[in-house]
Structure 1
Amino acid sequence: MKPPRNSPQPGAALRRPAPSLSGNPVVVDAPAGHGPCPLVIQSRAEGLLLSAWSAGRRTELEALATERGAVLLRGFSVQGAEDFETCVENIAGGALEYRFRASPRTEVGRNVYTATDYPAEQSIFPHNEHSYSPLCPRYLIFYGETPAEQGGETPLGDAREITRRIDPSVKERFLRRGVLYVRNYGAGFGLPWPTVFQTDDRAEVERYCAGLGIEWEWRSGDRLRTRQTGPAMIRHPATAEQVWFNHATFFHVTTLPAPLRDALTAEFSAGDLPTQTYYGDGAPIEADVLEHLRAVYQGALTQFGWRRNDVLLVDNILAVHGRTSFRGFRRILVAMAQSFKPRDFAVIPEPSS
Structure 2
Amino acid sequence: MSSNYNEVIARTLLATERNMVVNDNSTPLVIEPKGDSNAKYLCDFLQNNSQPLLKDLAKHGAILIRGFDIDTSAQFEQALLSIRGMSGMNELLLSEAGRTIADDTKFVFHTNALTKTGGRVTFDDFHSENYFSPDVPRFISFFCKQPSRFGGETGLVNLEKIYADLPSELKSKLEEKSCFAARYSLDEMAARYGLSVERLEAFCEKVGLCIDTQNDQRYVAVHKPSVISHPVKDNKVLLINFMNFPELQQAVMKVFLPDYKGIKWFYHKLNWHVPLLNSVIHPDGYLQTLYRRLRYGNSVHNGSNGSLESEKSKGVSTHFTSEDMKILAKSMRAHYSSFIWEKGDILIVDNMQMAHAGMPGYGSRDIKVMMCNPLKLPLTERGAGYYPVQEPSPNAQTLGSQILAFDAEYS
Post-superposition offset of 1:347: 3.0
**Equivalent in 55, 76, 81 of residue 68 of structure 2:** 76
Once the two structures are overlaid, the 10-residue window that deviates more, 75-84 or 311-320, is 75-84
Give 2:141's aligned residue.
141
Post-superposition offset of 1:137: 0.9
Contact kept? 1:252, 1:277, Cα under 8 Å: no
Within 2, Cα distance between the matches of 1:197 and 1:151?
Answer: 41
**Equivalent in 78, 81, 93 of residue 99 of structure 1:** 93
Partner SS for 1:155: strand
**Are residues 1:113 and 2:109 paired?**
yes
**Are residues 1:20 and 2:7 paired?**
no
Give 1:326's aligned residue.
361
- 1:347 maps to a residue whose letter is Y
Within 2, Cα distance between the matches of 1:333 and 1:235?
Answer: 29
Within 1, Cα distance between the matches of 2:387 and 2:329?
Answer: 24
Post-superposition offset of 1:149: 1.8
Within 1, Cα distance between the matches of 2:233 and 2:195?
Answer: 40
CA RMSD of aligned residues (A): 3.9
- 2:33 maps to a residue whose letter is S
**Equivalent in 223, 226, 244 of residue 229 of structure 1:** 223
**Equivalent in 322, 338, 347 of residue 386 of structure 2:** 347
Cα pair distance change 1:89/1:164, threshold 3 Å: same
Give 1:85's aligned residue.
77
**Are residues 1:150 and 2:150 paired?**
yes
**Are residues 1:42 and 2:32 paired?**
yes
**Equivalent in 29, 33, 41 of residue 11 of structure 2:** 29
Give 2:264's aligned residue.
none
Within 1, Cα distance between the matches of 2:195 and 2:337?
Answer: 42
Q: What does 1:177-192 align with in structure 2 at a 5 Å threshold? A: 177-183=177-183
- 2:87 maps to a residue whose letter is G
Q: Deviation string for 1:39-78 (max 9, x for gaps)?
A: 1111133542233432222212111100100011110111
- 2:243 maps to a residue whose letter is F
- 1:29 maps to a residue whose letter is R
Cα pair distance change 1:67/1:346, threshold 3 Å: farther
% of aligned pairs identical?
A: 19
Q: Deviation string for 1:9-65 (max 9, x for gaps)?
A: xxxxxxxx833312x1x2111469966620111113354223343222221211110
Cα pair distance change 1:281/1:114, threshold 3 Å: closer
Where is the helix percentage greater, Structure 1 or Structure 2? 2
Contact kept? 1:126, 1:297, Cα under 8 Å: no
Partner SS for 1:37: coil
Give 2:16's aligned residue.
none
Partner SS for 1:276: coil
Where is the strand percentage greater, Structure 1 or Structure 2? 1
Cα pair distance change 1:104/1:278, threshold 3 Å: farther
**Are residues 1:274 and 2:293 paired?**
no
Cα pair distance change 1:227/1:240, threshold 3 Å: same
Within 2, Cα distance between the matches of 1:66 and 1:45?
Answer: 26
Contact kept? 1:36, 1:70, Cα under 8 Å: no
Post-superposition offset of 1:124: 1.4
Post-superposition offset of 1:337: 0.9
Scaled by the length of structure 2, the TM-score of the pair is 0.65
**Equivalent in 281, 284, 297 of residue 332 of structure 2:** 297
Cα pair distance change 1:286/1:47, threshold 3 Å: closer
Partner SS for 1:99: coil
Give 2:128's aligned residue.
128
Aligned residues: 313
Post-superposition offset of 1:174: 1.2
Post-superposition offset of 1:342: 3.3
Scaled by the length of structure 1, the TM-score of the pair is 0.74
Give 1:314's aligned residue.
349
**Equivalent in 61, 65, 83 of residue 57 of structure 2:** 65
- 1:321 maps to a residue whose letter is H
**Equivalent in 250, 257, 280 of residue 243 of structure 2:** 250
Could you tell me which runs of 5 or more consecutive residues in structure 1 were left unpaired when the two chains were aligned: 1-16, 187-191, 262-271
Cα pair distance change 1:348/1:96, threshold 3 Å: closer
Q: Deviation string for 1:244-276 (max 9, x for gaps)?
A: 1123x3354765787699xxxxxxxxxx98323
Give 1:166's aligned residue.
166
Contact kept? 1:179, 1:230, Cα under 8 Å: yes
Post-superposition offset of 1:167: 1.5
